[in-house]
Amino acid sequence: MKFLDQAKIYLRAGDGGAGCVSFRREKFIEFGGPDGGNGGRGGDVIVECVDGLNTLIDYRYQQHFKAGKGTHGMGKNRTGADGKDSILRVPVGTQILEDDRETLIADMTEVGQRVVLLKGGNGGFGNAYFKTSANQAPRHANPGQEGAEKWVWLRLKLIADAGLVGQPNAGKSTFLAAVSAAKPKIADYPFTTLHPNLGVVSIGGNDFVLADIPGLIEGASEGIGIGDRFLGHIERCEVLIHLIDGTQDDVANAYRVIRSELGLYKEELAEKAEIVVLNKVDAIAPEELKEKVRALRKASKQEVHEVSGVTGKGVDDVLYAVVRTLDEARAEKAEAERRKIEGSWKP
């Protein structure tokens, strides 16, 4: 299945049905009076979060979604049927944005979540509705209201606990394949990964979801290379695993380039918890490795994990560090929620 994480679609709610002008006409019943029914209500446009989807590819081949129109009212006080709702099924993590691509309408983060994007038009009143003691034979009815319409953007941000970032060929796909059952494409040329990949990691009785996004290069925020369009997929991550290719000459500069691109994309992304990993250490001489670890530690001002995704050296240490960071983040969220509840409670 092809991966698609952005789509622009047109939505239109259903028009309401028109009210009916009718009079009761039966044998032996004189002056039967008005009996025109109301029109049916137009259908709504609803977005629903469902399980089993991980792409927006369905919205590449159909961009227009219209709810059903309400049926017109009829005589004998018969109300028209309501229009059929149009239901859009999206994967977990989908955001619905206005046409300006900035204003957030809804964030679909839980399976079963439903949001009404557009409400259908009300049905018009039939002439029976307008009957009064002063006007016992009204000869007019209301037309149905038109349904609302708009263009919106769908943007998918994968739900993952941890994210892999780094330059092309830093070994992110190899690392993901080594720690999970995911099978990303692995090759010895840049930009092997063209779309995000997810894998479930199990370590020490703990499970977490790890996301691998295409590599970043200097100027990605300006559209160079694949650009930074996939960085949205790690915005929900609690921790970033920053992989640096240990076989390159200047590992400190490689670290600073990625950190700069993260900050240019969004400050919140650069402020996330980070685990620095020097990868491919099996291909580096011991003395050279010491120098590169020292340079990377100075640039990042934190502990540097020495890892080989091919041999598995140091991989478990990185995974346990991720688990510890996730546990701390969850504990902080639980504490913040507890304080929020206590602050809102008044004796």
Q: How far is CA 335 from CA 1, 11, 341, in A?
A: 41, 41, 10
Query: β-strand 206-212 against 162-165: which pairing, if any?
Result: parallel
Task: State the helix-helix crossing angle for 315-344 and 172-179, rounded to 10 degrees.
Answer: 80
In a domain, 344, yes or no: no
Q: Is 135 annotated as a binding residue?
A: no
178 and 150 in a common domain: no
Q: Provide the β-strand partners of residue 306.
A: 278
195: Cα separation from own chain's centroid:
15
Give the pLDDT confidence of 160-183 residue by residue, as tens digits: 889 888 888 788 888 888 888 766
Task: Tell me which DSSP letter residue 67 carries.
Answer: P
Of 134, 156, 178, which residue constitutes the final position of a domain? 156
pLDDT in the model for residue 128: 93
In a domain, 151, yes or no: yes
Average pLDDT over residues 287-295: 91
Run of H or E residues at 336: helix 315-344
174 and 126 in a common domain: no
Q: Which of 32, 44, 25, 22 has its CA nearest to residue 125?
A: 22
CATH of the domain at 195: 3.40.50.300
pLDDT in the model for residue 30: 80
Q: Which of 57-71, 95-109, 121-135, 302-316 has the lowest mean pLDDT?
A: 302-316
150 and 166 in a common domain: no
Q: Is 11 annotated as a binding residue?
A: no
114 and 179 in a common domain: no
Whether the per-residue pLDDT at 225 is higher than 60: the answer is: no
**The pTM is what?**
0.75
In a domain, 346, yes or no: no
**242/276 Cα distance (integer angstroms):** 5
186 and 333 in a common domain: yes
Task: Tell me which DSSP letter residue 77 carries.
Answer: T
Average pLDDT over residues 217-237: 70
Q: Residue 219 — pLDDT band, cuts 50, 70, 90? A: low
Please report where in the chains the tokens 């670290």 appear, as a residue.
Answer: 255
Q: Is 122 annotated as a binding residue?
A: no
CB 19 within 8 A of CB 127: yes
Q: Is 192 annotated as a binding residue?
A: yes
174 and 308 in a common domain: yes
> In 42-133, which ranges are continuous DSSP H helix?
58-61
Q: Is 72 annotated as a binding residue?
A: no
Q: Is 184 annotated as a binding residue?
A: no
Residues in CB range of 104: below 8 A, 6 or more apart:
95, 96, 97
Whether the per-residue pLDDT at 308 is higher than 50: the answer is: yes
**335/315 Cα distance (integer angstroms):** 31
Give the pLDDT confidence of 269-287 residue by residue, as tens digits: 888 889 999 998 888 888 9
In a domain, 345, yes or no: no
How many structural domains compose the chain? 2
Give the pLDDT confidence of 49-80 residue by residue, as tens digits: 998 888 888 898 899 999 999 999 999 999 99
Q: Is 344 annotated as a binding residue?
A: no
- Domain of residue 18 covers 1-156
84 and 168 in a common domain: no
Share of the chain above pLDDT 70, in %: 90
**309/166 Cα distance (integer angstroms):** 14
In a domain, 26, yes or no: yes
Average pLDDT over residues 32-40: 93
Q: Is 208 annotated as a binding residue?
A: no
Of 156, 179, 197, which residue constitutes the final position of a domain? 156
322 and 190 in a common domain: yes
Q: How many CA atoms lie within 13 A of 320 on its CB side?
A: 6
CATH of the domain at 70: 2.70.210.12
pLDDT in the model for residue 176: 87
Residues in CB range of 299: below 8 A, 6 or more apart:
251, 252, 255, 256
Q: For all residues of the chain together, what is the average pLDDT?
A: 87
Q: Is 193 annotated as a binding residue?
A: yes
131 and 173 in a common domain: no
**334/328 Cα distance (integer angstroms):** 10
Q: Is 213 annotated as a binding residue?
A: yes
In a domain, 347, yes or no: no
Average pLDDT over residues 316-322: 92
Whether the per-residue pLDDT at 39 is higher than 90: the answer is: yes
Q: Is 194 annotated as a binding residue?
A: yes
Q: How far is CA 129 from CA 25, 33, 137, in A?
A: 18, 11, 11
Q: Which of 22-26, 34-38, 42-46, 51-55 has the lowest mean pLDDT?
A: 51-55
Q: Is 322 annotated as a binding residue?
A: no
Q: Is 308 annotated as a binding residue?
A: yes
Residues in CB range of 86: below 8 A, 6 or more apart:
11, 43, 44, 45, 46, 65, 66, 67, 68
In a domain, 184, yes or no: yes
Whether the per-residue pLDDT at 342 is higher than 90: the answer is: no
Of 156, 178, 195, which residue constitutes the final position of a domain? 156
254 and 187 in a common domain: yes
Q: Is 279 annotated as a binding residue?
A: yes
207 against 189, higher pLDDT = 207
Share of the chain above pLDDT 90, in %: 46
pLDDT in the model for residue 189: 45
Q: Is 143 annotated as a binding residue?
A: no
Task: Tell me which DSSP letter residue 43 carries.
Answer: P
In a domain, 85, yes or no: yes
121: Cα separation from own chain's centroid:
28
Average pLDDT over residues 32-47: 95
186 and 288 in a common domain: yes
66 and 106 in a common domain: yes
Q: Residue 344 — pLDDT band, cuts 50, 70, 90? A: low
Q: Is 212 annotated as a binding residue?
A: yes
Q: Is 93 annotated as a binding residue?
A: no
